[in-house]
A and B are shown apart, each in its own frame.
Chain A
Amino acid sequence: MGKQLAFYVDSDKCMGCFTCAMACKNQYHQEKGVVWRKIYPLAEAIYPHQERAWYSLACNHCENPTCLEVCPVKAYFKRDEDGIVVHEQEKCIGCGNCIRSCPYGAPQYNPSLKKAEKCSFCWQRIDAGLAPACVLSCPVDAIQMVDLDQFDATGLVQYAPGFPKFPALNPSVRFRLPKQPVVVRREDT
C-alpha cells in the first residue's frame, strides 16, 4: 500500500461540539443544507449511558471508491500521491449516481449548482502544507489526519459499531471507541 491519508476519529475524546463541522462550513461556505462533515450521535443501543458519544464523519476517501466507479462522466479521481478522492465539480452533470451509490452518504447534492460535491480532505490546504480545516479546529484532537501506510493502528477499529461495513470499498478511516463510563457508587467510595 502506498501513502493513503485517512481520518482518525477518536470517539473517546470527541465531545460532540460540532467545531469540525463548522470549520468545514467556514472554509468552503457550502449551500444551506449541504454538509460535508456530519456529527453522528451513537445510538443508545450501542452506547447506553447518560454520557454521549459521537462519530465525526465526512468522505472516507476509500481505497476503492464507489463514487469514482459509478460516475458516468469521470468527475472523480484518486490522487496517486496520497489517496485523496477528488471530485472535479466542473465535470459533474448532476446525475446523482454517486449520491445514491455511496453507502456512507458522503457526496451531497448542491441544489443551486445542480451538481454533487463532497469533502475534499482540504487537498489544497494539504498541498500548501496545512492541516485540513476540521483537523485544525478540533479543540480536543479528536479528529486527526494520518497516513495508513505509516500509522500504528493498534487498538483502533475500521468498522466501529454504528459505522456500516463495506470491506470491498475499504474506507480510509480508523476509530478509537469511546470508553465505557465508570459508574461510581456510594459504597465504592
Chain B
Amino acid sequence: MNSYETPLVLFTVLSQLSVGMVAVSAVRSFAGPEPPRKQIRSEWLVAGVALLVGMIASVFHLGHPAGMIRALAHLESAWLSREALSVGVFLGLVVVGIVLMRQKTNRGLIVLTALAGLLALFSMGMTYSPPSFPAINNVLPFVFFLVTAALLGTSVGTLFAPEEKKPLVNGIFAVSLIVGLVIYLIVPCIWLSGGEIMRQTGQAWIASPLYWARIVVGLVLPLAVLWKMKTTPAWLWVAVLAGELMGRALFFANTVHTATIMGGVY
C-alpha cells in the first residue's frame, strides 16, 4: 500500500469541485435566464476558494515548497508542469470572472473558463497515469476526475441554481451518479482479469473499506436520496465530497506499483 498522499487528495478533489462548479454554471447559462448576477458571483467565489485551498494543500506534498514556481520549468514534456500551468490559468480566469461579475456576467468568459478547467482536468489525468501503475496507465484517471467534477459540480452547483433550473442540474447529477457507480463497480472487476499488477490493484481496491465506503457514501446514498426526494437536499454535497475524498485516497494508496513484485511473475 502506498501513502494516502493527503495533500494531493485535497488538491485534486477540490480543484475538480471548482472545475465542476464552473462547468455547471456554463451549462446552465445556455438553458434560459440566469439567476441574479450576485448569486452567480457567489457561486464562482466558492469555486475560487475551493481551488485556492486545493492549490495551497498541493504545496504541502513538495519536499521544498519554496521551489513550487519552478514546477513550470518542463512544459515541453512533463504533464505535472502542464498541470500546474493549466490549473493556474483556470484560477486566473475564475478570479477575472469574479471581478468582472461586479459589473455584468459574460457568458463567453464563463465558457472559456469552463474549457480551461476541462483542460486542467485532462492535464491532471495525464499526470496521474504513469507507466509504473499499469491499472491507471490509461484514460481512467481522466475519467475518474471527470466523474468527480460532474458529481461535485452538480451537487454543490444545485445550491446556486434558480428553482426553474434545478431539474436540469439534478438531471446531470443523477446521470453522473449512475455513470460513476457503473464505472467504480466495473473497473476493479476488469482489472481482475488483467496482468499481475492490474489484478493486484483490483484485489487491493475491492478489499479496501475505502472502496466500499466511497461507493456507499458517495454514490449509492446520494442516488437513493435523489430518487426518493426527487431533488437534491442542501446537505447532500457533504456526502458526495466525503465519497470523493475517500475514493481519491483509495486511488493513491491502493493502486499497485510495478516495482512491488520485482523478481516475481508479471
User: A residues near B, CB below 8 A?
Assistant: 38, 40-43, 45-46, 54-55, 57, 66, 69-74, 91-97, 100-105, 109, 113-115, 161-166, 168-169
Whole-angstrom distance from the CB of A69 to the nearest CB of chain B?
5
A142 CB, nearest partner CB in chain B, Å: 15
Quick one: which of B132-156 are within 8 Å of A by CB? Answer: 132-133
The answer to whether B132 and A101 touch across the interface, beta carbons within 8 angstroms, is yes
Contact partner of B80 among A54, A70, A115, CB < 8 A?
A: A70
Q: List 12 A-B contacts (CB under 8 A).
A: A43-B264, A45-B265, A66-B132, A73-B73, A91-B70, A93-B70, A97-B127, A100-B133, A103-B257, A103-B258, A105-B132, A113-B63
Interface: B102 (CB within 8 A): no
Interface pair B84/A72, CB less than 8 Å apart = yes
Known A69-B78, A73-B74, A101-B131: A162·B61 in contact at CB below 8 Å:
no
Complex-state Cα separation, A102 to B137, whole angstroms:
12
- In the complex, the answer to whether B77 meets A40 with C-beta atoms within 8 Å is no
Tell me the minimal C-beta distance from B55 to chain A in angstroms: 14
B31: interface (CB < 8 Å): no
Q: Judge if B178 is at the interface, Cβ distance under 8 Å.
A: no
> Which one of A41, A74, A94 lies within 8 Å of B63 (CB-CB)?
A94
Q: Are A66 and B130 interface neighbours, CB within 8 A?
A: yes
Chain A residues near B122: list those with CB within 8 A: none
A70–B264 touching, CB < 8 Å: no
CB–CB A41/B131 < 8 A: no
Query: Which residues of the partner chain A approach B63 to less than 8 Å between Cβ atoms?
Result: 92-96, 109, 113-115
Give me the interface of B with A, judged by CB distance under 8 Å: 61-65, 67-68, 70-74, 77-81, 84, 127, 130-133, 197, 257-266
Query: Known: A104-B258, A105-B257. Is A74-B131 also a contact (CB below 8 A)?
Result: no
Closest residue on chain A to residue B82 by CB atoms: A72
Are A94's CB and B262's CB within 8 A? no
Q: In the complex where A73-B70, A104-B258 touch, is A166 in contact with B131 (Cβ < 8 A)?
A: yes
B-side contacts of A115, CB under 8 Å: 63-64
Chain B residues, CB < 8 A from A69 = 77-78
Q: Which residues from B are CB-within-8-Å of A165?
A: 266
Residue of B whose beta carbon sits closest to that of A163:
B262
Chain A residues within an 8 Å CB radius of B263: 40-43, 46, 54-55, 162
Q: Which residues of B contact A57 (CB under 8 A)?
A: 262
CB distance from B80 to the nearest CB of A (A): 4
Nearest A-chain residue to B264, judged by Cβ: A43
Q: How many angstroms from the CA of A71 to the CA of B76 in the assembled complex? A: 11
B73 and A40 form a contact (CB under 8 A): no
| New A-B contacts (4) at CB < 8 Å, excluding given A40-B263, A92-B63, A162-B264 | A57-B262, A95-B63, A103-B130, A103-B259
Chain A hits for B67, CB < 8 A: 73, 93
| Interchain CB contact under 8 A, B62 and A94 | yes
Nearest CB in chain B: distance from A46 CB, A: 6
Residues on A with C-beta less than 8 A from B81 are 72
In the bound assembly, the distance between CA atoms of A105 and B61 in angstroms comes to 19
Distance between Cα atoms of A102 and B130 in the complex (Å): 8
Please measure, in the bound complex, the distance between the C-alpha atom of A92 and the C-alpha atom of B265, giving whole angstroms: 34
